[in-house]
A and B are shown apart, each in its own frame.
Chain A
C-alpha cells in the first residue's frame, strides 16, 4: 500500500501524560482525512514507558501508533526527539504531519522539518485540503494577526503544520478503540546527547493555572490602573469558578505572571465565558480570544477595539461595573438558593 497517504499527529507527552492538543489534532486529522482520498490517520509517540498512551490515541481516532520507547527519551530534549522522528518520517513518508504549537512542539517541529528538508507552517488557525491540488492548505495569522496567510507546501513531504492548543475544538473520545502499534528504535545513546536536564523549577503554585482549558476567564488590562486591580478580578473569577487572565501590556509591566498572558505571544483560550476588563483589545490580544463562546467587554473608551469582538459591551468604569456584577451574581444565587430551600 505504497499509495496510502498517512496523516501523522504527534502524540505529545510529558511525564507520561498526553497533552490534550494531541487529541485536538487527531480530530483535525480525521476531518482532513475525509477530504483526502486514500488517507489514514496515525499517531507518533515518543517517551520512556509511554506505551499505555497509544490506547488513548486509538480512542481519539488513530488507526496506528508508531512508538519509540527509550530511556533517553524520558525527558524531552530536542536532539534525540528530532533524530528519532526524522528517521521514521524518512522510513514511512507521511503526507501530512501535525504537531501541537506548544513550547515542546514548536521546538521539535522546526528541527524535524529541517532534518527532512520540508515546509512547516507555524501556529495555524485553520487546516483544510485544497480540493483541486489535494494538498494541505494551512492558514495562519501573520504580522501580529493583522493578516491571514494560507500556506501551501507544493512538492516536499510531509507537509508539516503546528496548531496551538485550544485553536481547534476538543473531540470526544470513543468508548473503546483499537489500533496497531508499530515499534521503532531510537538509535541514539545518552552519551550522544549534549543537553542534560538538571532540574525543573515548578511554576509557583499560584501561577499554575490551566488558563488554556478554563471555562471562565476574567482578564484584565491596563485599564485596571494598578496591579491591585487583579484582586477584584480574582473575586469575580472565583465566584464563577474561573481563572484570571491578562493582556500583554500588564504582563510586561510586571503586574501579573506571564503564565496568565493571552494573545499572539501568550496563550490562545477558548472559554465559555470571557470577561475582558480594561483591555483595549489590540489585534494581538483579540486573536487569542476569538474561540470564546461569549465575550463580555468592559472598557471606559467607547472606541476600544475589544468591543469589535464582544458579544456584549459595557462602556463604563470597571471599578463600578465589576462590583455590581459580583453583587448581582451573588444576589441571583441567593435568590435561586432560597427558592430551592422554599420548595423543599
Chain B
C-alpha cells in the first residue's frame, strides 16, 4: 500500500492578530503549523500502512521553512517527505498549485504505484478547498471530497468504500483505486506517535525538489505566471457598529432583559 499525502504549512489563523494602526496582519510570533485537516490525512495514511504494510509519502509546496512540517509528518509515521520549493513557485493561486502537485504526484507514480492520494478538505489560511479537487481533475482520478471515514479499503482488488459528509447526510461511495480523498478531521483521530518514529524523525531530512529538478515544471504554469487570479486589494473588514452592552450587575437581570426585549421589538425582527 502506498499513500501520498499533500500537506500545507499554515499560520495558526486562530492566533492571527491585526495591527489596529496599520490594518495589516501581524505575522510575527504567529506559530506555523501543519494545516489541521492535513494532519488527519497523514494519520489515516499511517494507519492504513500499519494495517496493510507499505509506505507513506508526504509532499508539500512551500518555503524552506515548510520542511519542519514534513519532519512532523515523519514523527507521525510517514516514510518519505518531499518539499517542493523554489522562488519560481511563489504567488501561486490554486490552479498553479494543483499543477505543481499533480506533476509531482505523476513523477512519484512513475517510480512506484500509488493506491491513495490524501488531502485535507481545505487549508485554514485560504479556506478555498480547491487544490485537492484540482489535482484529482488533472490526474483524471476519482475524487471523494469531505471524506469522514473509510469503510473498506482493498489495495489488492483496487477498490474502496468511503463515507462523505454532505448537507443531506452521509454518502456511501464506492471507488476504484487509486483515488483522491479530501478529508474531514474525523477521518482518523491523531494518536501519540510511537517512540521509534519520533527517534527516526529526529534524524530525518526531507528531500527538496526545485522547479527544474527532478521534475522540469512548465514555467508558464507555475507561480504568478501560472495563476489566473490576482489579489486586487486586501483590507481588514470594517467593524460593525455595535449596540450597547448592559451589565446585569449594574441594573439587575429583569430590567436588563426587559431592555433587550424592547430593543428587539423596536427593531421589529420577530413578534412575541
Using known A-B contacts A313-B246, A316-B247, determine if residue A197 contacts B176 with beta carbons closer than 8 Å.
Answer: no
Question: Cβ of B229 and Cβ of A79 under 8 Å apart?
Answer: no
Interface string of A123-144 (1 = CB under 8 A from B): 1000000100000010001111
Question: Cβ of A150 and Cβ of B233 under 8 Å apart?
Answer: yes
Question: Cβ of B25 and Cβ of A149 under 8 Å apart?
Answer: no
Q: Which of B95, B167, B176, B179 contacts A119 (CB 8 A)?
A: B95
A180 close to chain B: CB less than 8 A: no
Question: Cβ of B270 and Cβ of A273 under 8 Å apart?
Answer: yes
Question: Cβ of A78 and Cβ of B143 under 8 Å apart?
Answer: yes
CB distance from A283 to the nearest CB of B (A): 8
CB distance from B195 to the nearest CB of A (A): 28
Interface string of B1-14 (1 = CB under 8 A from A): 00000000001011
A135-185 contacts to B, CB under 8 A, are 137, 141-156
Q: Which of B94, B240, B254 contacts A290 (CB 8 A)?
A: B240
Task: Indicate the size class of the contact surface on chain B.
Answer: 35 or more
B202 close to chain A: CB less than 8 A: no
CB distance from B254 to the nearest CB of A (A): 6
Question: Cβ of B263 and Cβ of A142 under 8 Å apart?
Answer: no
Question: Cβ of A273 and Cβ of B269 under 8 Å apart?
Answer: yes
Stretch at the interface among B78-86, B103-111, B134-142, B207-215: B134-142
Q: Which of A107, A147, A309 contacts B145 (CB 8 A)?
A: A107
Using known A-B contacts A104-B166, A143-B125, A201-B172, determine if residue A149 contacts B231 with beta carbons closer than 8 Å.
Answer: yes
B87 close to chain A: CB less than 8 A: no
Question: Cβ of B129 and Cβ of A106 under 8 Å apart?
Answer: yes
Q: Which of B142, B145, B234, B253 contacts A324 (CB 8 A)?
A: B253
Question: Cβ of B248 and Cβ of A302 under 8 Å apart?
Answer: no
Please report whether the interface of chain B is mostly helix, strand, loop or mixed according to DSSP: mixed
Please report whether the interface of chain A is mostly helix, strand, loop or mixed according to DSSP: mixed
B157 close to chain A: CB less than 8 A: no
Interface string of A100-112 (1 = CB under 8 A from B): 0011101101110
Question: Cβ of A146 and Cβ of B16 under 8 Å apart?
Answer: yes
- In whole angstroms, what is the CA distance A198 to B165 when docked? 14
Q: Which of A103, A121, A196, A321 contacts B256 (CB 8 A)?
A: A321
- In whole angstroms, what is the CA distance A196 to B13 when docked? 37
B243 close to chain A: CB less than 8 A: yes
Using known A-B contacts A102-B167, A195-B173, A195-B175, determine if residue A78 contacts B253 with beta carbons closer than 8 Å.
Answer: no
- Measured CB to CB, the nearest residue on chain B to A146 is B16
Q: Which are the 8 A-B pairs with shortest beta-carbon distances?
A: A316-B248, A313-B245, A144-B13, A119-B228, A119-B229, A110-B130, A194-B142, A272-B269
Interchain residue pairs with CB less than 8 A apart (18): A78-B133, A103-B146, A113-B95, A113-B134, A114-B137, A119-B227, A120-B128, A130-B232, A146-B18, A147-B236, A149-B234, A196-B173, A200-B168, A282-B14, A294-B269, A309-B240, A310-B245, A315-B245
Chain A contacts to B: CB under 8 angstroms: 14-15, 78-79, 82, 102-104, 106-107, 109-111, 113-115, 117-123, 130, 137, 141-156, 194-203, 215-216, 240, 258, 264-265, 272-273, 282, 284, 287, 290, 293-294, 296-297, 302, 307-317, 320-321, 324-325, 328-329, 332-333, 336
